[in-house]
C-alpha cells in the first residue's frame, strides 16, 4: 500500500527508523558523498549518488574470513564473524539496487558466499527514485527504470513530500513498525514524479547507447579487435573504476602472520592490476591491453553469456567521473561499435 511522508517529517522518519536499526544515509564530506550511520543533527545529502556505491555494505573492501591460532602442536580455528544485526541503507538509486541482483548471481549461487549472504539477509534497501538524473547516467540503456527503483522500500520525491511503498515483505514489516510517521495515500501519488523522471531520462544522450555489438556469444567477434590497443593506451592501471563500480566483485585472499597464528582476510582486487590472478607460473595477462580488455569483456560479453543476457554494468556513470584518464565503459562500447576509424 502506498504511503506518504511529508517533507517536514523526514527527520521524524529517520529518528523512528534509526530507533529500530542502524540506518545509513548519504552524507556530503568535502569532495565526496559517503554513507554514514544516521544520528540526530546529521545532514542527509541531496546529491544524486554516493562516491562509492552501496556494495560496500554487502561486500566490504576488506573482511576477515578466519583466524588460526597456533599453540604448540594445536591449531585453533576461529570464525571472526559476530552476530549480525539488521541495518538499513537509505537513498540507494535504481542503478545501485540493480547491482545487488548482479552481485547475488555471483555470491548467492552455489557455493553460496555466507559472508555476503548474511549481510544481504540483514540489510534493508530503501531506494530513492532519481528526480535529478545526471548527464553521465545511462541505467536506461540496461533496462533500468530510474523512476521506479527496486528495493525493499521505495521513496519517490513528490512536490511536498515522498511517496513511500514497500516492495518486499521485509520492507512491509519495516514500514508497519514505524507506521505513525506516514499518512495513507492514493496508489497514483508518485505517477507525476515518475513521468517527469522518465521524460528527463529519455533526453539523456547516453541512454541510447548501442548494445547490439555486445552480449553472450560475442567473444570471437570482439576478443581480437584492434581497438583494444588504442583504448587501453590511456589506462593507468589505477583500479579506480573497479573500486567505484557497484558490480565489480573480484577479491584477493591473503594471510597475515600475527606471530602466533594467521589471520586470513579478503580485500577487493582489480583485473586492471598486473598481479591480478597471478599464479605460480606467472600472470596469464601480461600487458595492460589484456587486462583492460578483460574488464570490459567480462561486463559486456562473459557475464551476459553466463547470466541469461544480463550485462555486468548498470550505467551508474561512476567510472565516467572517476577515471583520471577519462577512459570508461561508454567510450569502449562506442569505439567497438563504430570501429577504429571513427
The residue from 272, 297, 332, 336 that contacts ligand SF4 (CB under 6 A) is: 272
CB of 5 to ligand SF4, least distance (A): 29
CB of 139: closest distance to ligand SF4 in angstroms?
9
Q: Which listed residue (238, 250, 262, 321) binds ligand SF4 by CB under 6 A?
A: 238
Total residues interacting with ligand SF4, rule: CB under 6 A: 25
Residue choice 97, 141, 197, 241 for contact with ligand SF4 (CB under 6 A): 241
Q: Is 313 one of the binding residues for ligand SF4 (CB under 6 A)?
A: yes
Q: Does 102 bind ligand SF4 (CB under 6 A)?
A: no
89 makes contact with ligand SF4 (CB under 6 A): no
Q: With binding defined as CB under 6 A, does residue 230 bind ligand SF4?
A: no
Q: Assess 301 for contact with ligand SF4 (CB under 6 A).
A: no
323 near ligand SF4, rule: CB under 6 A? yes
How far is residue 236's CA from residue 227's CA, in Å, rounded to a whole number?
17
Q: Using the rule CB under 6 A, is 239 a contact of ligand SF4?
A: yes
User: Which burial class, exposed, middle or buried, applies to 93 when counting CB atoms under 10 A from its CB (0-12, 13-18, 19+)?
Assistant: buried
Q: Name the DSSP class of 73.
A: T
Q: What is the CB neighbour count within 10 angstroms for residue 298? A: 20
Residue 119 or 295 having the CB closest to ligand SF4: 295
Whole-angstrom distance, CA of residue 109 vs CA of residue 304: 15
Q: Residues 327, 235: contact at Cβ < 8 Å?
A: yes
Residue 55 or 266 with smaller CB distance to ligand SF4: 55
Q: Using CB under 6 A, which of the segments 20-28, 125-133, 251-259, 313-321 binds ligand SF4? A: 313-321
| By CB under 6 A, residue 236 contacts ligand SF4 | yes
- Cα dist. 183→12, 92, 191, 214, 231 in Å? 13, 23, 17, 46, 53
Residue 231 in contact with ligand SF4, rule: CB under 6 A:
no
DSSP H or E segment with residue 37 = strand 32-37
- Residue 129 beta carbon to ligand SF4: minimum distance, rounded to whole angstroms: 18
SS3 169: helix
- Sole binder of ligand SF4 in the list 22, 131, 240, 277 (CB under 6 A): 240
Position among 149, 317, 332, 333 found at the interface with ligand SF4 (CB under 6 A): 317
List the one residue out of 128, 141, 120 whose CA is nearest residue 314.
Answer: 141
E strand intervals along 61-206: 62-71, 74-78, 87-92, 123-128, 153-157, 161-166, 183-184
Q: Applying CB under 6 A, which of residues 271, 316, 332, 336 lies at the interface with ligand SF4?
A: 316
Angle of the 10-20 helix axis to the 169-177 helix axis, nearest 10: 110
Residues 6+ positions from 250 with CB-CB distance below 8 Å? 242, 268, 269, 270, 271, 276
Please give the residue ranges that form the binding site for ligand SF4 (CB under 6 A).
235-241, 244-247, 272, 299, 313-319, 323-325, 327, 329
Amino acid at each position: 500500500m502506498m504511503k506518504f511522508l511529508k517533507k517536514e517529517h523526514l527527520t521524524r522518519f529517520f529518528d523512528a527508523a534509526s530507533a529500530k536499526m542502524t540506518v545509513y544515509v548519504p552524507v556530503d564530506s568535502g569532495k565526496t558523498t559517503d554513507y554514514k550511520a544516521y544520528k540526530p543533527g546529521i545532514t542527509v545529502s541531496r546529491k544524486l549518488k554516493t562516491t562509492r556505491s552501496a556494495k560496500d555494505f554487502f561486500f566490504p573492501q576488506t573482511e576477515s574470513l578466519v583466524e588460526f591460532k597456533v599453540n604448540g602442536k594445536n591449531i585453533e580455528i576461529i570464525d571472526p564473524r559476530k552476530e549480525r544485526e539488521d541495518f538499513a541503507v537509505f537513498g540507494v538509486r535504481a542503478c545501485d539496487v540493480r547491482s545487488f541482483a548482479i552481485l547475488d548471481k555471483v555470491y548467492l549461487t552455489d557455493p553460496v558466499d555466507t559472508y555476503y549472504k548474511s549481510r544481504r539477509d540483514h540489510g534493508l534497501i530503501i531506494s530513492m527514485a532519481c528526480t535529478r538524473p545526471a548527464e553521465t547516467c545511462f541505467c536506461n540503456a540496461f533496462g533500468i527504470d530510474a523512476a521506479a527503483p527496486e528495493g525493499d522500500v521505495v521513496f519517490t520525491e513528490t512536490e511536498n513530500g515522498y511517496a513511500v511503498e514497500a516492495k518486499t515483505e521485509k520492507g512491509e514489516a519495516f514500514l508497519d513498525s514505524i507506521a505513525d510517521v506516514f499518512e495513507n495515500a492514493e496508489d497514483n501519488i508518485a505517477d507525476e514524479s515518475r513521468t517527469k523522471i522518465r521524460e528527463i531520462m529519455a533526453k539523456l544522450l547516453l541512454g541510447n547507447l548501442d548494445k547490439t555489438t555486445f552480449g553472450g556469444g560475442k567473444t570471437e567477434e570482439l576478443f581480437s579487435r584492434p581497438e583494444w590497443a588504442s583504448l587501453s593506451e590511456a589506462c593507468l592501471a589505477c583500479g579506480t573504476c573497479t573500486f567505484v563500480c557497484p558490480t565489480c566483485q573480484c577479491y584477493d585472499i591473503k594471510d597475515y602472520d600475527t606471530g602466533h597464528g594467521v589471520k586470513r582476510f579478503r580485500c577487493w582486487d582489480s583485473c586492471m592490476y598486473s598481479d591480478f590472478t597471478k599464479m605460480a607460473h606467472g600472470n596469464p595477462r601480461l600487458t595492460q591491453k589484456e587486462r583492460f580488455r578483460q574488464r570490459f569483456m567480462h561486463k559486456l560479453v562473459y557475464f551476459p553469456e553466463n547470466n541469461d543476457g544480463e550485462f555486468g554494468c548498470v550505467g551508474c556513470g561512476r567510472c565516467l567521473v572517476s577515471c583520471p584518464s577519462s577512459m570508461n565503459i561508454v567510450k569502449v562500447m562506442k569505439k567497438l561499435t563504430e570501429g577504429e576509424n571513427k
